[in-house]
Structure 1
Amino acid sequence: MKTSSGLLYSVLDLAPILQGETAADSFRHSLKLAQQVEKWGYHRFWLAEHHNIPGVASAATSVVIGYIAGGTSTIRVGSGGIMLPNHAPLVIAEQFGTLESLYPGRIDLGLGRAPGGDQSAARALRRGLGSSGDTFPGDVQELQGFFSPALPGQKVRAIPGQGLNVPLYLLGSSTFSASLAAELGLPFAFASHFAPEMLHQAIGIYRTHFRPSATLAKPHVMVGLNVFAADSDEEATRLFSSLQQVFLHLIRGWPKQLQPPVDDIDALWNPVEEAQVSRMTRCSAVGSPESLRFQIESLLDETEADEIIATAHIHDPQARLHSFEIAAKVFQDLQKARA
């Protein structure tokens, strides 16, 4: 899974809907971003399943993955992740079997066990009628079975999907999925870009208890990182205020479309809210190329991550592209330094 230079760098796109725009605009921005990061050497481009959130357009994740894969040619495209308890494993096997059949060798299936939205959305998704977070381990293994060659007498098969061995990744923000990924010998991605508290504990458990599998010979750790790069520290900090507003609105219970940056974020929150937002966004790299390199290098030294998956809620699409371009150069320098 690793390149000869060791470190991989990838993109997690939450398909943000900008203030005053539509989901259709969001998808066009996402495709443009995917096409550019493909040129800049990013390894994969993932989209996440979220529901009932005004600022996120990727609810029908497999559909958007098909759109992105169809507009690119080499970059891996997948989910970061599909919230598996929202779906029957057979349905996901068929969806991703279809994607793998259309774009062979380029599709990833990252899996999470949260609802991807609030409790009202969870009820609307009928989670109470079937799978839940508690059934997640069995759901994952059932899904693996649908991607494997059919067994004699197997009555239900994923067509397409059977025998395609679409690569699975487990995602998490606690130790639960870390333990399961270790047990099943799967790659593990930690959602430190919004829930960094248990990052070190989770990856420690994953590495300690990892069992080699037919899929993966040794642990593969992906770390989520908010990346806000600009030509100056001041401009990057200003861009970062859009993400800070996202978390502020979530804390207050009224999420919005992605807001433009502000010059004085302190005017928008109180000290308690500031502390909460700062805690949730602690795993962020914000600044000029020089500052960015120092922050990313520090994270790599702390985690020894095999892969950084970068995300950025930047309101201006051009500024977002520029941020990922700057970050690509920083990642490439770090690849060479660590080769």
Structure 2
Amino acid sequence: MKAESFTKEQVIGFYRKMLLIRRFEEKAGQLYGMGLIGGFCHLSIGQEAVAVGTHAASKSGDAFITSYRDHGLMLACDSDPNVVMAELTGKETGCSKGKGGSMHIFDVEKKFFGGHGIVGAQVPIGTGIAFASKYKKKDNVVFTYFGDGATNQGQVYESFNMASLWNLPVVYIIENNEYAMGTSVQRSTLVTELYKRGEGFGIPGKQVDGMDFFSVYAATSEAAEHTRSGKGPILLEMKTYRYRGHSMSDPATYRSKEEVEDMKHNHDPISTLKKYIIDNKAASEEECKAIDKEIRDLVKKSEDFAKNSKEPSANELYTDVYKSVSYS
């Protein structure tokens, strides 16, 4: 579907969702600085088009799984911002009752199967979900996300081999934000065209402008159709960029301020979509400002909800550890 094929309401909806991720992540950064979010916290500011564009190309029943940079994708899957923020702040009203925190958030009802803290660990899990989908003869695709840093993990290629061998309905999405945990792709890998990483397993790949919503949507729609039609896995390399450090403890001194500012001012996914909206008269500048205010208010409510929620009780430590199984 081309840009002009969307209705005004649809485009504004995508813009609203991307803006929600941006404002939510900015607030999460503030709360982390205030000590209200503990542990690790990885923000996806700058990468909003990947989350929203890929989800927009999915259909009901499709599954999503990613790494620890997970808040944005979870919100793209239409999870409740209140519940996500409560989890980040370790409260009992969070999706994992405050025990998962930033890196381990889930919403199975929305088919969002987590944030995972081990680099690359979500790739075999996503492949397994795809196996289950095929085994149950479901017409669904599993979108499995991982970063450029995870592309050198062995379990990724074991997963590629099995997915290709068994013709599984999985779309692998590399969010290539160029620096992994702090080392550029150029310094860490010889073949920097990551979309070629599946070729040895018979998995076709494509490189995509991950900073442009419409490019992400178009490529993902095509990939999902390929996979859903029984042609097996496919690999998309989304060329994107994170404005903040790898995590909140990363000052990101390995790249220049000029490079970051260039991306913010000339390639920002939200500004690009906003320009499209205004140029095509889907909404005015004033209406876009009103949407921003609505989103800021929504994020403030999530902050208040999290702050006013209770801490989990000590007994919560012992729940969800084992699953009771009856053999009767």
How would you bin the TM-score normalised by the shorter chain? 0.3 to 0.5
Per the normalisation by structure 2, the TM-score is 0.37
RCO comparison, higher one (Cα < 8 Å, 6+): 2
Specify which structure has the higher proportion of strand.
1
